[in-house]
């Protein structure tokens, strides 16, 4: 990456920092700290980041290794529906900022990560609400000495841009008097809808029978795998008239869907992409 011109890198461990000192001498580096992910429908809380005390030591070490200890970052989790998550995380970063300035490290940047939510089935705060909450917290903690602010609003930008067109493969019941129908689609967890794991991201559906009488459904993908079940506990309802061959649309599937698609599980081809 350094050879290709990248001059700013994230890190969260000593081993990574020493790799950077070797491979990207003098580069700007920023440390990711662990923050709460409460309120996020797709949490990203544990895998990256380190505790504040360790971040402090690593930022000092970065300077000693000839790197530029440029900033701090965090991630409040993807599809974050609570503005308070950003406020709490900014307070945490501000504490460390002060500590580091006291230790002689001139931190100049805060990366607020991503997480801004898309409207799937339920209402979420407007992006302006997030903006107001974030700028309020930044001003409260940093006053007029605002650092550079970086944000990474991936899902928010592209989520609404994608629609998956799927076909109903089968509608069935497991027993004759079962009130819940199973609706099988030709796309599922391994065709790109990986974020339905644990029913985390709840996509909205549009069908040719919208408005007609509906009933409870379990929605599943096409493969032989039982884990390829999208929604069983999230109280989805679909029209009773829905039948094999009907096309349904999954809305706001612009984020991450095509890249998650498996290359051939059960022989299904990856999703075809059409841009309009």
Interface residues with a copy of itself (CB under 8 A)? Answer: 12-16, 19, 34, 42-51, 53-54, 57, 170-176, 182, 190, 194, 197, 220, 224-229, 243-244, 256, 258-267, 270
Closest CA to 131 of 73, 90, 96, 184: 90
Instruction: Give the Cα separation of 248 and 167 in Å (integer).
Output: 6
Write down the least CB distance from residue 121 to a copy of itself, Å.
Answer: 20
Nearer to a copy of itself, 2 or 260 (CB): 260
Nearer to a copy of itself, 142 or 182 (CB): 182
Instruction: Give the Cα separation of 153 and 239 in Å (integer).
Output: 34
Segment holding 15, helix H or strand E: helix 14-23
Write down the least CB distance from residue 221 to a copy of itself, Å.
Answer: 9
User: Beta 68-73 vs 148-150: how paired, if at all?
Assistant: unpaired
Nearer to a copy of itself, 128 or 273 (CB): 273
Q: Which two tokens stand for residue 267?
A: 């022989």
Nearer to a copy of itself, 165 or 258 (CB): 258
Write down the least CB distance from residue 261 to a copy of itself, Å.
Answer: 6
Nearer to a copy of itself, 16 or 68 (CB): 16
Distances in whole angstroms, Cα of residue 163 to Cα of each of 137, 246, 274:
35, 16, 10
Write down the least CB distance from residue 191 to a copy of itself, Å.
Answer: 10
Q: Got the DSSP string for 59-110?
A: HHHHHHTT-EEEEEE----EEE--HHHHHHHHHHHHHHHHHHHHTT----EE
Write down the least CB distance from residue 46 to a copy of itself, Å.
Answer: 6
Nearer to a copy of itself, 135 or 264 (CB): 264
Residue 165, Cβ density class (10 Å: 0-12 exposed, 13-18 middle, ≥19 buried) = middle
Write down the least CB distance from residue 193 to a copy of itself, Å.
Answer: 12
Write down the least CB distance from residue 38 to a copy of itself, Å.
Answer: 14
Q: Residue-wise over 238-247: b if at least 16 C-beta within 10 A, else e?
A: bbeebeeebe
First to last CA, the chain: 33
Nearer to a copy of itself, 43 or 159 (CB): 43
Distances in whole angstroms, Cα of residue 251 to Cα of each of 38, 125, 229, 243:
25, 18, 18, 20
Q: What are the residues facing 203 on neighbouring strands?
A: none
């Amino acid at each position: 990456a350094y050879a290709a011109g990248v001059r700013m890198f994230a890190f969260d461990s000593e081993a990574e920092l020493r790799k950077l000192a070797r491979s990207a001498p003098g580069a700007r580096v920023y440390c990711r700290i662990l923050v709460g992910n409460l309120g996020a429908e797709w949490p990203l809380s544990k895998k990256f980041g380190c505790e504040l005390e360790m971040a402090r030591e690593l930022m000092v070490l970065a300077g000693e290794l000839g790197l530029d200890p440029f900033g701090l970052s965090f991630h409040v989790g993807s599809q974050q529906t609570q503005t308070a998550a950003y406020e709490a995380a900014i307070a945490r970063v501000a504490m460390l900022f002060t500590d580091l300035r006291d230790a002689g490290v001139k931190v100049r940047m805060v990366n607020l990560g991503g997480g801004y939510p898309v409207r799937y089935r339920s209402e979420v705060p407007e992006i302006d609400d997030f903006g107001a909450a974030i700028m309020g917290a930044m001003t409260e903690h940093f006053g007029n000495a605002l650092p550079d602010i970086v944000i990474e609003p991936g899902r928010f930008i592209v989520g609404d841009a994608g629609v998956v067109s799927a076909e109903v493969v089968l509608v069935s019941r497991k027993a004759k008097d079962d009130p819940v129908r199973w609706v099988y689609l030709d796309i599922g967890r391994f065709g790109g809808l990986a974020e339905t794991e644990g029913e985390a991201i709840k996509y909205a559906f549009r069908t040719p029978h919208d408005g007609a009488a509906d009933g409870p459904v379990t929605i599943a993908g096409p493969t032989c795998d039982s884990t390829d079940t999208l929604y069983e506990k999230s109280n989805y309802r679909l029209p009773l008239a829905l039948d094999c061959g009907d096309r349904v649309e999954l809305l706001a599937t612009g984020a991450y869907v095509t890249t998650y698609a498996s290359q051939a599980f059960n022989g299904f081809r990856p999703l075809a992409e059409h841009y309009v």
